[in-house]
Amino acid sequence: MERISHGYSELVGSAMDHIPAFIRNQIHFHFFTGNPFNAGLIDRSEYYKESLLDYLALYVSPYAQSKHLPKILKVPTIVLLQKPDGLDREVIVHEVGHALDEYLDNQFTFNPVSEYAKTDDYENFAEAFLVWLSFSKYLLLKPEDIYFFDHLFESANGSPIWCNRIPGEVRNER
C-alpha cells in the first residue's frame, strides 16, 4: 500500500534522510496519503469514536488494520492525513519512531521529553526518538537513553542488541 500522492515526495524524502541508515535499513513500513477509512486500511467502526482525521499523521500497525484487508497487504503504514504544506519533517520522523518502537516489541521506555510524551509509552518512545535525532537531545535525554539509540543495532554477530535474549525470556511489558 505504498501510495504517496504528488507533493509529499520531497517532504518524505527529507524526513527519511534525517533518519540514520542503520535504522532505515532495519525497519520496513509503507507510506499512505489520504483517508485510511475510505481506502479500507482501517475499519471505521473500530476508530469511529476518535476523530483520527484531525491528526497530522498516524502510524497504523498491521495488527490494527482492517480485518477485511488481506494479510499479505497488512504492513506497518504511516498515514499522512494532512496536505504536504500542513506537515513537517518532525511529524514524519515521530511516526517512524512508532514503527521503530513496534519493531522493538514496544519494550523500552524513557523519561518523558515533552508533555505529549506523557500521553502513554508509545508516544513517549516516538518523542524520545524524535528528540534523539535533534540537537536538544543532550538537554532532554539522559545519557543512557542517548546511548540506547546510538548503539541500537550493534552486536558481535550483527543482529540488533535487543534480540540477544534467551528464547522465552519474559520481557517487561508496558
Least confident of 58-62, 80-84, 111-115, 151-155: 151-155
Nine-digit cell string for 24: 532505515
Which pLDDT band, with edges at 50, 70 and 90, does 4 fall under?
low
Point out which residues pair with 58 in neighbouring strands. 79
Kindly report which listed range (41-55, 87-101, 158-172) carries the lowest average pLDDT score: 158-172
pLDDT confidence of residue 47 = 54
Cα distances from 64 to residues 3, 37, 43, 67, 107, in angstroms, run 19, 12, 9, 8, 18
Phi, psi of 84 (to 5 degrees): -55, -35
Tell me the per-residue pLDDT of 64-121, one tens digit each, with 9 for 90 and over: 888 888 998 899 999 998 888 888 999 999 999 999 999 999 989 899 999 999 999 9
Give the global pTM.
0.82
Highest mean pLDDT among 62-76, 117-131, 155-169: 117-131
CA distances from 105 to 26, 37, 52 (A): 14, 26, 24
The reported pLDDT for the residue numbered 62 is 92
Closest C-alpha among 17, 38, 21, 29 to residue 59: 29
